[in-house]
Amino acid sequence: MPPYDLRMTRRHDGDVEDTLRAPAVHRAVAACANPVIAYLVARLLLRVVPALPTVPTYAVCLLLGLVVGWRAWTARIDLHTGSMLVHNTLATTRVERRGVKRIAESGRVEWRPGTERAMRLPAEALHGPWWTLGTGRTAYALNREQARSWLRTMPHDVAPGEGD
C-alpha cells in the first residue's frame, strides 16, 4: 500500500485547472504575524479585564492566532472549470465563472451573484498588502493575468452549476 500523501488530499475537486498564490515569503510573514498579534490581544484583554483567567485567555487567543495564521498561509484562488474558489485569510467564497465581470488591477474580483447588485471581492493572491512595499509586484501581476486568461477562455458549453 502506498504511503499516505498529503499533497493528494489538498484538493477534493478533480477539475481544478490552476491555483494562484501570493509569493511564499509574503504568505509566511502574514502567517507568522497572526500568533504574535493574538498574543498582544491576549495581553490587552488581561489588562482591560483583569478578572479573566490568564492561561485560558492566552490559550484561546493563541489558538485563534494559529488558525488565522494557517488560513493566511493557505490563502489562494482555485480556478475550476465553472467557478473560482477564493480562499482569503478570513473567508472562502465561491464565485461562478459566468458571474465574474472582470479582474480589477486593484486585485478585486468584480462579480454579480445572480440577480443581486455587483460586488467586489478582494483576493489576497491578486494584490500585495501594503507592508510588502511593492515587492513581489510581478508575481501578483502574473496572478491577475492568469485569472483574466481563465475568464477569457470560459467554455461556452458549461451550464450554470456544472464543473463546480
The candidate with the shortest Cα–Cα distance to 132, out of 34, 29, 10, is: 29
Answer with the residue of higher pLDDT: 59 or 137: 59
HSE of 9, CA atoms in CB hemisphere, 13 A: 4
* pLDDT single digits (tens) 108-117: 999 887 777 8
Query: Cell numbers of 96, please?
Result: 461562478
* pLDDT single digits (tens) 15-54: 667 899 999 999 999 999 999 999 999 999 999 999 999 9
- Packing angle, helices 24-48 and 54-73, rounded to 10: 160
* pLDDT single digits (tens) 83-129: 899 999 999 999 988 888 889 998 899 988 777 788 898 999 998 88
